């Protein structure tokens, strides 16, 4: 008997999945039963259900109760609609674990996101934003590759008074700015920036803008986000411009420990429709900084939810090679993804370091990679951060497949699951093009 079917039958016999239904849904909403009985949160569930023609799976005690239905449906996307105080650190970890458990391999099986907000009204407002969000302007409190955007600006967290700016049609240039950049960053969020990136010291209540010098900070209170400069001046952030937020190096920015949490304020005040965030103090950095490798360094190739998913699988791949890696184990289940996972936020396509294509003919799939930048190959254009670079090449499969046999390219050690192919970066110095050929076993 198939192991997956056997495990589901065992769970069914235990009475854990009494509402198992098979619909072939591409999008499943997982939510606590109370959210379907609360008029306001039911609006969020119903909106997503209609928008994505989704199936709704409820639980009463733990998200693990939906394993059976998720294992059968194997949706491309899973949204965990959750009231803010239920989106705990423990909840985030359980979502990570559940979404890796839909089949026998150790990898993720569905692109997921936790849909929440300061309240139901805020959550509904965020999921109601029309797709897609094409990211043209980026702003940051740390170094990012501005050449991958139409325009943008970043201010150094380690060198007071230094920044970089890119104007439309121009190349990035260094700029001199005040040591206190609080108001400048607030202005970005009250403007039209599409992506905001931060690092440095943070808690659930604040972000310290300067890392190695004195600067201002961002604070939150009851869903309101504001900047406070070194003189005590406060600058409120009020925006209706949809954007995404990547606190790639910040501690605790994704930890919702109460209604004053920074994450909730980002959603309500800054209109952040998708964000990631550590739910614990960070020290290793793979799950945070690595999202830049897929999302920003490969402009246009992945949406933000896809980039987050790809980086998760890269981390699991690292653990398969070294199961005792303390850093990867630490990062595995502690970074949240907030927002509708099917919402498409991505950079405009621009020059990529390599081409990758997946084709299928007569049941045979061919994945080809051709390096365009032979000097830089796979190295990030801006290596700022922790655990940057060396991410495996990642591609989603056009459909779910069963167990596959590799016809050509086994020496590249590809990982092929039911929904993606992952290939370690080749180390051969003069290799600029290669392919993996595979098909489902009959």
pLDDT of residue 233: 98
What backbone phi and psi angles, to 5 degrees, belong to 436? Answer: -120, 125
pLDDT of residue 22: 57
The CATH number of the domain holding residue 172 is: 3.40.50
Residue 121 located in a structural domain: no
**Residue indicated by tokens 């043209």:** 136
Q: Which residues contact 300 (CB under 8 A, 6 or more apart)?
A: 346, 347, 348, 349, 350, 352
Task: Record the tokens describing residue 140, joined without a space.
Answer: 């940051």
Domain co-membership, 236 together with 282: yes
**CA–CA dist 272, 275 (Å, integer):** 7
CA-to-CA dists, residue 84 to 77, 164, 242, 248, 292, angstroms: 21, 36, 20, 21, 26
Length of the chain, in residues? 442
Q: Which residues contact 319 (CB under 8 A, 6 or more apart)?
A: 106, 325, 328, 329, 332
Count the helix, strand and coil residues of the chain and give each as a percent rounded to the nearest 5. 25, 25, 45
Residue 120 located in a structural domain: no
Domain co-membership, 313 together with 434: no
267 touches 106 (CB < 8 A): no
- How, if at all, do strands 151-155 and 137-140 pair? parallel
216 touches 207 (CB < 8 A): no
Domain, as residue range, for 25:
3-115
Domain co-membership, 270 together with 360: no
Render pLDDT for 383-416 as a digit per residue (tens, 0 to 9): 999 999 999 999 999 999 999 999 999 999 999 9
Residue 263 located in a structural domain: yes
**CA–CA dist 432, 282 (Å, integer):** 36
Burial-class residue 171 by CB neighbours within 10 Å (0-12, 13-18, 19+): exposed
| Domains of the chain: total | 3
Domain co-membership, 153 together with 244: yes
Q: Which residues contact 34 (CB under 8 A, 6 or more apart)?
A: 41
Residue 176 located in a structural domain: yes
Domain boundary among the residues 319, 347, 375 is at 347
Q: What ranges make up the beta strands (E) of 234-373?
A: 234-237, 243-246, 272-278, 335-338, 345-347, 354-361, 364-371
Domain co-membership, 195 together with 298: yes
Residue 390 located in a structural domain: yes
336: three-class secondary structure by DSSP:
strand
β-partners of residue 361 are 364
Q: Which residues contact 6 (CB under 8 A, 6 or more apart)?
A: none
Domain co-membership, 317 together with 170: yes
Residue 123 located in a structural domain: no
346: three-class secondary structure by DSSP:
strand
Domain co-membership, 28 together with 99: yes
Residue 126 located in a structural domain: no
Domain co-membership, 95 together with 45: yes
Domain co-membership, 183 together with 318: yes
**Residue indicated by tokens 């059968």:** 72
**Residue indicated by tokens 């900084």:** 289
Q: Which residues in the chain show pLDDT less than 50?
A: 1-19, 21
Task: Record the tokens describing residue 258, joined without a space.
Answer: 């109460």
**CA–CA dist 69, 82 (Å, integer):** 18
Task: Record the tokens describing residue 1, joined without a space.
Answer: 């008997």
Residue 412 located in a structural domain: yes
pLDDT of residue 10: 40
Domain boundary among the residues 347, 369, 389 is at 347
| DSSP string of 30-83, one letter each residue | EEEHHHHHSHHHHHHHHHHHHHHT-EEEEESS-GGGGHHHHHHH--SEEEEE--
Q: Is the dihedral of CA 259, 201, 309, 9 positive or negative?
A: negative
Domain co-membership, 248 together with 391: no
Domain boundary among the residues 115, 150, 167 is at 115
How large a percentage of the chain has pLDDT more than 90?
93
Domain co-membership, 360 together with 337: no
Burial-class residue 433 by CB neighbours within 10 Å (0-12, 13-18, 19+): exposed
Domain co-membership, 167 together with 43: no
């Amino acid at each position: 008997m198939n192991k997956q079917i056997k495990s589901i039958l065992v769970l069914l016999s235990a009475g854990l999945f009494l509402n198992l239904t098979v619909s072939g849904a591409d999008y499943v909403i997982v939510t606590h039963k109370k959210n379907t009985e609360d008029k306001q949160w039911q609006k969020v569930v119903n909106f997503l259900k209609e928008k994505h023609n989704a199936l709704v799976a409820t639980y009463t005690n733990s998200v693990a109760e939906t394993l059976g239905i998720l294992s059968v449906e194997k949706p491309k996307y899973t949204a965990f609609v959750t009231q803010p105080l239920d989106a705990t650190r423990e909840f985030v970890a359980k979502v990570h674990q559940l979404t890796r458990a839909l089949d026998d391999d150790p990898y993720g099986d569905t692109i997921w996101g936790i849909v929440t907000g300061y309240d139901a009204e805020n959550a509904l407002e965020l999921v109601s934003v029309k797709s897609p969000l094409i990211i043209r302007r980026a702003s940051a409190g740390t170094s990012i590759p501005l050449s991958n955007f139409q325009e943008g600006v970043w201010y150094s967290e380690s060198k007071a008074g230094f920044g970089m700016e890119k104007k439309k049609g121009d190349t990035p240039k260094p700029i001199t700015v005040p040591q206190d950049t609080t108001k400048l960053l607030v202005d970005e969020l009250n403007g039209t920036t599409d992506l905001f990136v931060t690092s440095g010291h943070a808690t659930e209540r604040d972000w310290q803008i300067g890392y190695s010098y004195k600067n201002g900070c961002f604070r939150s209170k009851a869903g309101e986000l504001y900047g406070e400069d070194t003189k005590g001046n406060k600058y409120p952030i009020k925006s209706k411009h949809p954007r995404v937020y990547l606190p790639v190096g910040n501690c605790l920015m994704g930890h919702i420990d109460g209604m004053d949490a920074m994450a909730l304020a980002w959603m309500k005040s800054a209109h952040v429709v998708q964000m990631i965030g550590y739910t614990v103090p960070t020290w290793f950095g793979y799950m945070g900084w690595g999202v830049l490798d897929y999302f920003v360094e490969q402009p246009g190739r992945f949406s933000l939810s896809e980039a987050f998913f790809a980086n998760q699988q890269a981390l699991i791949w690292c653990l398969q090679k070294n199961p005792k890696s303390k850093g990867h184990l630490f990062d595995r289940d502690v970074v949240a993804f907030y927002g509708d996972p099917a919402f498409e936020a991505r950079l405009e396509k621009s020059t990529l370091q390599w081409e990758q294509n997946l084709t299928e003919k007569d049941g045979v799939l061919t994945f080809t990679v051709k390096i365009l930048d032979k000097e830089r190959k796979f190295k990030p254009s801006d290596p700022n951060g922790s655990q940057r670079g060396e991410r495996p090449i990642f591609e989603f499969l056009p459909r779910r497949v069963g167990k596959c046999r590799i016809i050509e390219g086994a020496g590249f050690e590809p990982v092929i699951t039911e929904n993606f192919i992952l290939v370690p970066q080749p180390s051969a110095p003069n290799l600029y093009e290669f392919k993996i050929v595979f098909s489902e076993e009959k």
